[in-house]
Amino acid sequence: MQGTTFMALIMSTFGKRVRQLRLKKKLSQERLAELAGLHVTFVGAIERGKRNLSLVTIVKLAKALKVKPGELFRGIRT
């Protein structure tokens, strides 16, 4: 698998997991963005798999979703 394709798959899977957890917690994108200290358009881009995130942002999302950071990676296959 090529590097860019592999990265796109990881980002897409990660974004789907964030969306899944957000919906499970009954949070809007706006509310998640507010809780995580992020812009709502950034959260939307994350959920669409269009952003490669820093560790700090991953921790912010996990904290806002009240899960461990590793939970955001569930389903990602390497």
Q: What is the pLDDT along the chain (78 residues), one digit of tens a residue?
A: 566 788 999 999 999 999 999 999 999 999 999 999 999 999 999 999 999 999 999 999 999 999 999 999 998 876
Whole-model pTM: value is 0.91
Cα separation of 2 and 32, whole Å?
A: 33
The identity of residue 68, as a single letter, is K
Please report the pLDDT score of residue 25 as a whole number: 97
Pick the CATH number of 3-73 from 1.10.1740.10, 1.10.260.40, 3.40.140.10, 3.40.50.740: 1.10.260.40
Cα separation of 44 and 52, whole Å?
A: 13
